[in-house]
Structure 1
Amino acid sequence: MTQFRFSGLLFAITLAWAGSVTADDGIEWRDIRSFAMEGQGWKDVQMPFDRLPRKAEGVVRPRIWSLSRNTAGLCARFVTDATEIHARWTLTSDQLAMSHMPATGVSGLDLYARDDQGRWRWLAMGEPTAMTNSKVLAKGIKPGSREYMIYLPLYNGVSAAEIGVPRDATIAPAEPRPEGSRRPVVFYGTSITQGGCASRPGMVHTAIVGRQLDVPVVNLGFTSNGTMDPPITDLLAELDAAVYVIDCLPNMTAPEIAARTGPLVKTLRKARPKTPILLVESRPFADSTFLDAQRQRIEASRAALKAAYQHLFAEGIEGLHYLDGDPLLGDDGEATVDGSHPTDLGFMRMADVFTHAIAPLVNKRIAGQ
């Protein structure tokens, strides 16, 4: 009950902030929900930036519900001619960082802008120093109106978030994406999918893929809980995705993979006959060169997934694809924090492999195939 009252208070703060102008600094503030929000698969949510719908509470496991309050993958697109951009945001947890992941990734904001060639380029980061933050993201921006995209934190929740620009600047939601590019790529997976351990929200591979392909992305990564649970599968089937990316092996045993892969694929295929489904192998542990138990675990999980894939293919399931795990992190052992969770280098390498695999599937969906 206390948590509900606290959340309600924060939500009231969100409403009070929306569209406000601070007299002493001349900055006009806009609730980011007034812009083109992306990354949220459902609109009927309990709190403004939840990743699962209200109805999922009590249906999914409690830990998954708790993790769904983290804002991984949520972002907003807007257009402004401002030469300076401010942000303020209120977090739902005072755990700003983790022992192996910086506060900038756990609880910070990440701002990108389109350059003159239309490419997304990093511009600024909102460094969190408390549960409520107000920061100048960038000053002295080259004049001109352009599109921006700001990512919310990967491992914290947000109850309120705003963008501020000088009162003499214009700011508005970005134009909707082209008709054929509005379906999101939906990633379902583990802590790696959620973004552990990226240095900032825009560096998780799911976000990089979204920028490289210029498509929206829904991130349904749940730390230690990407286990192909039937309630999550049913929720996935509700989303009109461009592609489903199923990347759960790091959290699953070989028997679980053998038992759950088929039902997940068949549920998605029944609900979405034309949507491609990409099954992803585990990445090799960076220390598996020396630790046989790590190598054997990966080999067993891969064998179970490959067998399930081949069985489904033999049954005539169409639109099913498979991604080899070996190339994801490279072969030098230098792309993780702890042997499993990628650094920014690891996420960049993963994004390149995923983009190559997903691009033709997205293009087919755009073409209506």
Structure 2
Amino acid sequence: MKAFRWITAAFCLTALGLHAAEPGTKPAEAPAKKEPAPAPALSWHNVKEWGLEGRAFGGMERKNWFDRLPAVADGKVTKEVWELGQDSSGMLARFKTDAPEIWANYTLRRPRIAPPNLTAIGASGLDLYARDPQGQWRWVGVTRPTTGQVRQEIIKGMAPGMREYMLYLPLYNGVENLEIGLPPGAKFEPVAPRAEKPVVFYGTSITQGASASRPGMTHTAILGRRLARPVINLGFSGNGRMDAAVGELLVKIDAAVYVIDCLPNMNAAAVREKCIPLVKQLRAARPDVPILLVEDRRNTNAWILPRRNKLHDDNHRALRECLDTLKAEGVTGLYHLPGDDLLGDDSEAATDGSHPSDLGFVRQADRFEPVLRSCLAPK
């Protein structure tokens, strides 16, 4: 009877994925928990010591060092624009090192790691690029944030050699601090932000970076690498509306080009109301700076949504009317980028119909590049 009870118990335990100990033997001990490997000893370098590229308004006071907008903007721009200005989109740190591995240590401003239409890497991560032996910028690695305090290895096991790096900051979160960690003894040279006049983008969530998979994949970042020029990203998700209060900030930047890409957050009536005053505001303060007016990208499912398609048609028409009026009034230095082909014509280049995927951002960069090169060409 005892043997029968033992066999029955063993059968039940086996069915549950468990194993009974043989009679008269001690139960096996659970394997010891594996402790995580300790982080290596590192030498840390604070980016505040040499500065970030893409950080405008350098001589003006800020509430947080990493904010995109100066303190004076609080109360002048809308509450939404002010809060979005605390995101670090478009900023990057430049440095050189021969280290075989690179770490990052930073604190995020907000607990939400990512909104629904972005990856955690895109919204709250860091994105590392390096120059290859031919001088081209190539992707290297990213952080993968899961909490508000991030202390992670970005890359290890790299081939030996001194290289220049660019580290892009989060698109849809702000940071409180940022340090770059290297093994002791590795050479390190900070690279100051470039002094060339920047391309300044004022726009919407698309400009800010939704829905790039990582910060270096936005069209603004791609164009910065292709044009070898600093970029200022003043994209404000849902709130790029050609506001005069933002115009007051734009004119404080000694820009190479102003790119106005606000139509995805506007309708035709708002375009007619705000476009001409904004252009004249910029032109009065910066008479020689080219201004590129960008049409609304067409949603990738607009082909099956007549009302959405009409909104795009109306927006495009309104912007062209404003452009014609400005030119007729003698305003010079104006450029125009059509919107129909910004995402291609195969409906494959957006995550949700509106916001570009990485494919969409590459396509946008391809459309922007020749126009911006024309804007930047010596006159």
Whether these two folds match at TM > 0.5 is: yes
- 1:158 equivalent to 2:186? Answer no
Match of 2:328 in 1: 314
Residues 104 and 200 of structure 1 are in contact (CA less than 8 Å); yes or no, is this contact kept in structure 2? yes
- 1:275 equivalent to 2:289? Answer yes
Q: Matched residue of 2:377: which SS?
A: helix
Amino acid at match of 1:197: S
Residues 53 and 193 of structure 2 are in contact (CA less than 8 Å); yes or no, is this contact kept in structure 1? no
- Where structure 2 has 5 or more consecutive residues not aligned to the other structure, the ranges are 1-37
Query: Which of 26, 47, 66 is the aligned partner of 2:83?
Result: 66
Find the aligned partners of 1:136 and 1:24 in 2 and give their Cα distance: 9
Find the aligned partners of 1:82 and 1:175 in 2 and give their Cα distance: 19
Find the aligned partners of 1:288 and 1:314 in 2 and give their Cα distance: 33
- 1:119 equivalent to 2:136? Answer yes
**4+ runs deviating over 6 angstroms:** none
Match of 1:232 in 2: 246
Deviations 1:207-266 (A, max 9, x none): 000011111000000011000111001110111011100000010111110011111111
- Where structure 1 has 5 or more consecutive residues not aligned to the other structure, the ranges are 1-22
Match of 1:99 in 2: 116
Q: Matched residue of 2:345: which SS?
A: coil
- 1:186-201 equivalent positions in 2, closer than 5 A: 186-201=200-215
Aligned-residue offset at 1:175: 5.5
Amino acid at match of 1:186: V
Find the aligned partners of 2:148 and 2:39 in 1 and give their Cα distance: 23
Find the aligned partners of 2:124 and 2:168 in 1 and give their Cα distance: 11
Amino acid at match of 2:93: A
Aligned-residue offset at 1:24: 7.3
Aligned-residue offset at 1:35: 3.3
Residues 33 and 76 of structure 1 are in contact (CA less than 8 Å); yes or no, is this contact kept in structure 2? no
Find the aligned partners of 1:303 and 1:128 in 2 and give their Cα distance: 43
Find the aligned partners of 2:192 and 2:72 in 1 and give their Cα distance: 30
Find the aligned partners of 1:314 and 1:289 in 2 and give their Cα distance: 34
Q: Matched residue of 1:60: which SS?
A: coil
Find the aligned partners of 1:208 and 1:215 in 2 and give their Cα distance: 11
Cα 1:311/1:131, change in 2 over 3 Å:
same
Residues 191 and 223 of structure 1 are in contact (CA less than 8 Å); yes or no, is this contact kept in structure 2? yes
Find the aligned partners of 1:293 and 1:24 in 2 and give their Cα distance: 55
Find the aligned partners of 1:213 and 1:24 in 2 and give their Cα distance: 38
Amino acid at match of 2:371: A
Amino acid at match of 1:302: H
Amino acid at match of 1:88: N
Find the aligned partners of 2:42 and 2:376 in 1 and give their Cα distance: 40
Deviations 1:184-226 (A, max 9, x none): 1000000000000110000111000001111100000001100
Q: Matched residue of 1:111: which SS?
A: strand
Q: Matched residue of 1:333: which SS?
A: coil
Find the aligned partners of 2:314 and 2:335 in 1 and give their Cα distance: 20
TM-score norm. by structure 1 comes to: 0.90
Query: Which of 25, 48, 70 is the aligned partner of 2:65?
Result: 48
Deviations 1:257-284 (A, max 9, x none): 0011111111111111111000000111
Match of 2:45 in 1: 30
Aligned-residue offset at 1:355: 1.2
Aligned-residue offset at 1:356: 1.6
Find the aligned partners of 1:360 and 1:169 in 2 and give their Cα distance: 42
Aligned-residue offset at 1:360: 2.3
- 1:328 equivalent to 2:347? Answer no
Query: Which of 103, 114, 127 is the aligned partner of 1:86?
Result: 103
Aligned-residue offset at 1:164: 0.5
Residues 35 and 78 of structure 1 are in contact (CA less than 8 Å); yes or no, is this contact kept in structure 2? no
Aligned-residue offset at 1:26: 2.5
Residues 36 and 76 of structure 1 are in contact (CA less than 8 Å); yes or no, is this contact kept in structure 2? yes
**Superposition RMSD in Å:** 1.3
Q: How many residues align?
A: 340
Residues 130 and 137 of structure 2 are in contact (CA less than 8 Å); yes or no, is this contact kept in structure 1? yes
Taking every aligned residue pair, what percent have the same amino acid on both sides? 49
Q: Matched residue of 1:89: which SS?
A: strand
Match of 2:187 in 1: 170
Residues 39 and 217 of structure 1 are in contact (CA less than 8 Å); yes or no, is this contact kept in structure 2? yes
Aligned-residue offset at 1:77: 0.6
